């Protein structure tokens, strides 16, 4: 089972969007049983809060529910419990290194590193452009799923 943890500053916009988009993609691909997907924050500011309403609405526009989400903070222990820890931007990645004490086995990356255009996921908290964030998150999650399928040898529908 592939265990993925998406991480952003507050765990109310970008990382839960990535969590629920990825859950939707793997479910539609018939692979839900092969993944455990969650999200977390690098800060404590929003702990316990649900997904930010505009992010929740953007997910709902695409038929994706984020019910039951409550923001939580990344812990050092998460490093051992997850196969991939995926940040949304460079500031998140720096905080992830600090909280986890480094990345001694190469589990950390940025979501957009899994696309043809690496960089940061647009932060709607500042831009208020939830569509741009949606596009980045979808692209990144599709890239991750494609990597997983290639890893398994499923890229052409053939399994190893």
Contacts of 122 (CB under 8 A, 6+ apart): 129, 132, 133, 136
Does the annotation mark 14 as catalytic? yes
How far apart CA 80 and CA 59 sit, in angstroms, is 30
**Which residue has better confidence, 151 or 80?**
80
pLDDT, tens only, 8-63 = 999 999 999 999 999 999 999 999 999 999 999 999 999 999 999 999 999 999 99
Strands (E), the chain: 2-8, 35-41, 84-87, 108-110
The catalytically annotated residue of 8, 13, 100, 141 is 8
How far apart are alpha carbons 26 and 46 in whole angstroms? 27
**Distance between CA atoms of residues 78 and 51, nearest Å:** 21
66 is catalytic: no
What is the reported pLDDT for 17?
98
Domains and CATH numbers, the chain: 2-152 (3.40.50.2300)
Active-site annotation holds for 3: no
This prediction has a pTM of: 0.94
- Choose between 65 and 153: higher pLDDT: 65
Residues 6+ apart with CB under 8 A from 110: 86, 87, 88, 89, 90, 92, 93, 118, 119, 120, 121
Q: Write down the catalytic residue from 123, 136, 139, 141.
A: 123
State yes or no: pLDDT of 157 exceeds 70. Answer: no
- 96's enclosing H/E stretch is helix 90-100
Active-site residue (options: 13, 14, 66, 100): 14
Structure tokens at 48: 């316990």
Spatial CB neighbours of 154, under 8 Å, sequence gap ≥ 6:
none
Phi, psi of 70 (to 5 degrees): -135, 125
């Amino acid at each position: 089972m592939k265990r993925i943890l998406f991480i952003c500053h507050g765990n109310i916009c970008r990382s839960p969007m990535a969590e629920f988009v990825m859950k939707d993609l793997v479910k539609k691909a018939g692979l839900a049983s092969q993944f455990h997907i969650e999200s977390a924050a690098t800060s404590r500011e929003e702990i316990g809060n649900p997904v930010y309403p505009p992010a929740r609405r953007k997910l709902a526009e695409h038929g994706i529910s984020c019910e039951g989400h409550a923001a939580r903070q990344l812990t050092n222990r998460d490093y051992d419990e997850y196969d991939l820890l995926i940040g949304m931007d460079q500031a998140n990645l720096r905080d992830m290194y600090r909280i986890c004490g480094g990345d001694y086995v190469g589990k950390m990356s940025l979501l957009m590193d899994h696309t043809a255009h690496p960089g940061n996921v647009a932060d709607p908290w500042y831009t208020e452009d939830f569509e741009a964030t949606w596009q980045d998150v979808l692209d990144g999650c599709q890239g991750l799923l494609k990597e997983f399928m290639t890893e398994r040898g499923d890229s052409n529908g053939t399994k190893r």
